[in-house]
Amino acid sequence: MLRVFGHTLFGWIAYAGKNIHNFVGPACAGSVLMMFGAFVRDNPPGLIVSAFGVVLDMLVPGIVYSRGNMQIANVARLAAMLACALSLGPICLGTIGMKGAAHAGAPVKAV
């Protein structure tokens, strides 16, 4: 990307993207919290990802933002995202991968 845009434009895009992320990220976390309220027992990994994202954005007062703490938050966030990604395998196998599984809950037509 740097070769295409050049240093100046790439720096401006990166700076703008970081600032946009810092404003949109907490809104995304808020929407995840609302979804968490609706589906409490089904969504703990989404809450973990958002909580560590807020920590990585340095928005939580009273936390020492040392390099070690930020590394721990980043690794925990990546682990939660990996858990979400790995859950897609059984979902795909249970719906698309097995013939007729997607229509298993559909009502049966009377003959």
Residue 91 lies in a domain: no
- Give the Cα separation of 46 and 35 in Å (integer): 9
Residue 96 lies in a domain: no
Q: Is the pLDDT at 12 greater than 80, yes or no?
A: yes
Residue 15 lies in a domain: yes
Q: How confident is the model at residue 90 (pLDDT cuts 50, 70, 90)?
A: confident
- Give the Cα separation of 20 and 17 in Å (integer): 5
Q: Is the pLDDT at 71 greater than 90, yes or no?
A: yes
Residue 99 lies in a domain: no
Mean pLDDT score of the chain: 83
Q: Is the pLDDT at 105 greater than 70, yes or no?
A: no
Residue 92 lies in a domain: no
The predicted structure's pLDDT at residue 95: 77
Residue 55 lies in a domain: yes
Q: In this predicted model, what pLDDT tens digit does every residue of 23-64 receive, in sequence order? A: 898 888 888 888 777 876 776 777 777 788 888 889 889 889
- Tally of domains in the chain: 1
Question: Domain range holding 35?
Answer: 2-85
The predicted structure's pLDDT at residue 110: 65
**DSSP string covering 52-97:** HHHHHTT-STT----HHHHHHHHHHHHHHHHHHHHTHHHHHHHHTS
**Tokens 């990166």 belong to residue:** 14
Residue 68 lies in a domain: yes
How does 26-49 read in b/e, with b if 16+ C-beta sit within 10 Å? eeebeebeeebeeeeeebebbbbb
The predicted structure's pLDDT at residue 83: 84
